[in-house]
Structure 1
Amino acid sequence: MPPTTTSATHAVGVRTTTLWRTPESPRPIDAPILAADPRGWAAAQDREARLGLDGIADTQLLLGEPVELLEERDGWARVVVPWQPSGADPRGYPGWVPLAHLTTPPAASVEEAVVVESTAVLRRTPGGPPVLDDVSYATILPVASQADGAALVHLPGGGQAWLDEGFLVRKASRQLPVDASAVLEQARRFVGLDYLWSGMCAFGLDCSGLVHISFRALGRVVPRDAKDQADFAEPVPLDEVQAGDLFFFAKPGKEISHVGFATGAESVILHAPGTGNPVEEAPMSGRRKQTLTSAGRLTV
């Protein structure tokens, strides 16, 4: 499944928003993310609430991320997300977001700045007052100009702001060459972060979200979900797996539902294990080994 080339009609205008199955999906405890507060949302979710996200939320979208708006209903927008390829829709991941979280796309540029620290701050001037904080890792914004180690970026909805730390500038592309060891290093920065179903930002990640944003930050768009990542990856025999390849897992008779990075050490995996457990780099448990079905490579 190649990455989609759907043209965007809108872009995310807030730090992070969650993609829901329906407009009725959010619960009272989800009020912070409806107010575009990903840090507060993650902090509010106890174990029971985190388990309850399965089936009502699917992924998250970051500031500036393009979307195609398909329908408006009572303050909600039905969208597809072209930077998150999905077997559910050839145009990109489908779902619903608050209409207020969308705006016009930022001005285009041949270069882009990507946040490569956990979070970054957008400022009015380099080192000056903040325009927006808690801008998540893997946020990508077009570059207007650079000066003294800072990047002036175009914002969705119009306007500009400065990034002066925690970013790198590269050619604007969704299919840049990716080194396996570099992807692993990106994923390792999240060791210890709590698992969050649908999470794809610096405040919570699920297993395939960890894979997706580790590649995205390096300029490679890959599918969002574990099954789609397995379908898209170049198959690798289990006895030929290298560091940076992916292990895929499925319960007997079920489709693939978990993914993690091979680290190069025998049976050691870097992954987001599941609700109640943080991202870890650790030996596979016996139970996990029993569900290991295949391996694949996305760094080709």
Structure 2
Amino acid sequence: MTSRKTAALLSGAATAFCALALGGAPAWAENEDLPKESGQYSAVGDRSGPSEIQSDEALAGRVVEEATAFAGIPYRFGGTTARGMDCSFFVRTAFDAAGVLLPRTAREMFVFGRFVEPGDLRAGDLVFFRTYARFPSHVGIYLGERLFIHASRKSRKVQIDSLDAPYFSKRYLGGRRLDGPPVDAG
């Protein structure tokens, strides 16, 4: 039997669909069903239109739990497997497992949810950085107490770092929170 996390790692954005085994039942999201406009995201398995997602705390708890389970997985630019994943695939996989579909790249994720001031960040928020381009090129998941988890190119693995570390504080672009009901992408 394939575990939920294994199923998530075996799928990828490059395929025509993304399959996750949630509670033993597969949930599918075809690429054309992924949100295309700012502020839209979808609950996994819901293809009939808008629906309520989990409460903010429940969603954040699931995202953080899923994300921290990946600590130590190798980093690989463009990677989409347990052998190596990049920052955006790591974030997407953690949110997918918690029931929220996100686009593939940090740049695309940056328009989702709502902006959060640095002092108002909560566990489960997305944090974005400008690392090698003018646009958001790195993303992680905020854990609380100024810490976030991400797939680090520098250390070559998924790890926890501080927003106050000089490298990240200079490159920080902002936080985004995915709360409230998802918007139908249709």
Could you state the TM-score of these two structures normalised by the residue count of structure 1? 0.43
State the SS of the aligned residue for 2:161: strand
Please give the alpha-carbon distance, in whole angstroms, between the structure 2 residues aligned to 1:257 and 1:115.
33
State the SS of the aligned residue for 1:263: strand
Decide whether aligned partners of structure 1 residues 201 and 291 sit closer, same or farther in structure 2, where only a CA change above 3 A counts.
Answer: same
The one-letter amino acid of 2:22's match is V
Of structures 1 and 2, the larger Rg is shown by: 1
1:297 aligns with 2:170: no
Aligned to 2:53: 177
Q: Residue deviations 1:69-98, cap 9 Å, x none?
A: xxxxxxxxxxxx6x6xxxxxxxxxxxxxxx
1:299 Cα deviation (Å)?
4.1
Decide whether aligned partners of structure 1 residues 172 and 246 sit closer, same or farther in structure 2, where only a CA change above 3 A counts.
Answer: closer
Please give the alpha-carbon distance, in whole angstroms, between the structure 2 residues aligned to 1:296 and 1:234.
5
1:197 aligns with 2:77: yes
Aligned to 2:135: 255
Aligned to 2:22: 114
Please give the alpha-carbon distance, in whole angstroms, between the structure 2 residues aligned to 1:115 and 1:190.
20
Please give the alpha-carbon distance, in whole angstroms, between the structure 2 residues aligned to 1:249 and 1:201.
23
Instruction: Please say if residues 121 and 175 of structure 2, whose CA atoms lie closer than 8 Å, have aligned partners that are also in contact.
Output: yes
Decide whether aligned partners of structure 1 residues 237 and 276 sit closer, same or farther in structure 2, where only a CA change above 3 A counts.
Answer: closer
1:296 Cα deviation (Å)?
0.2
Please give the alpha-carbon distance, in whole angstroms, between the structure 1 residues aligned to 2:114 and 2:67.
20
Q: 1:280 aligns with which of 159, 164, 173?
A: 159
Which structure has more helix as a fraction of its residues? 2
The one-letter amino acid of 2:21's match is A
The one-letter amino acid of 1:177's match is I
Question: Unaligned stretches of 5+ in structure 1?
Answer: 1-14, 19-58, 62-66, 68-80, 84-105, 107-111, 117-139, 143-170
Decide whether aligned partners of structure 1 residues 176 and 281 sit closer, same or farther in structure 2, where only a CA change above 3 A counts.
Answer: farther
Q: Residue deviations 1:78-120, cap 9 Å, x none?
A: xxx6x6xxxxxxxxxxxxxxxxxxxxxx9xxxxx83389xxxx
Question: Unaligned stretches of 5+ in structure 2?
Answer: 1-8, 28-43, 181-186
Aligned to 1:141: 26
The one-letter amino acid of 2:141's match is F
Could you state the TM-score of these two structures normalised by the residue count of structure 2? 0.67
Which structure has more strand as a fraction of its residues? 1
1:188 Cα deviation (Å)?
0.5
Q: Percent identity over the alignment?
A: 27
Aligned to 2:109: 229
Aligned to 1:186: 66
Aligned to 1:160: none
Decide whether aligned partners of structure 1 residues 217 and 191 sit closer, same or farther in structure 2, where only a CA change above 3 A counts.
Answer: same
State the SS of the aligned residue for 1:279: strand
Higher RCO (CA 8 Å, separation ≥ 6 residues)? 2
Q: 1:264 aligns with which of 144, 150, 156?
A: 144
Aligned to 2:6: none
Q: Indicate the RMSD between aligned Cα atoms, in angstroms.
A: 3.0
Instruction: Please say if residues 76 and 156 of structure 2, whose CA atoms lie closer than 8 Å, have aligned partners that are also in contact.
Output: no
Please give the alpha-carbon distance, in whole angstroms, between the structure 1 residues aligned to 2:99 and 2:70.
18
What are the residue-to-residue correspondences of 1:158-177 with 2, within 5 Å? 172-173=45-46, 177=53
How many residues align structurally? 148
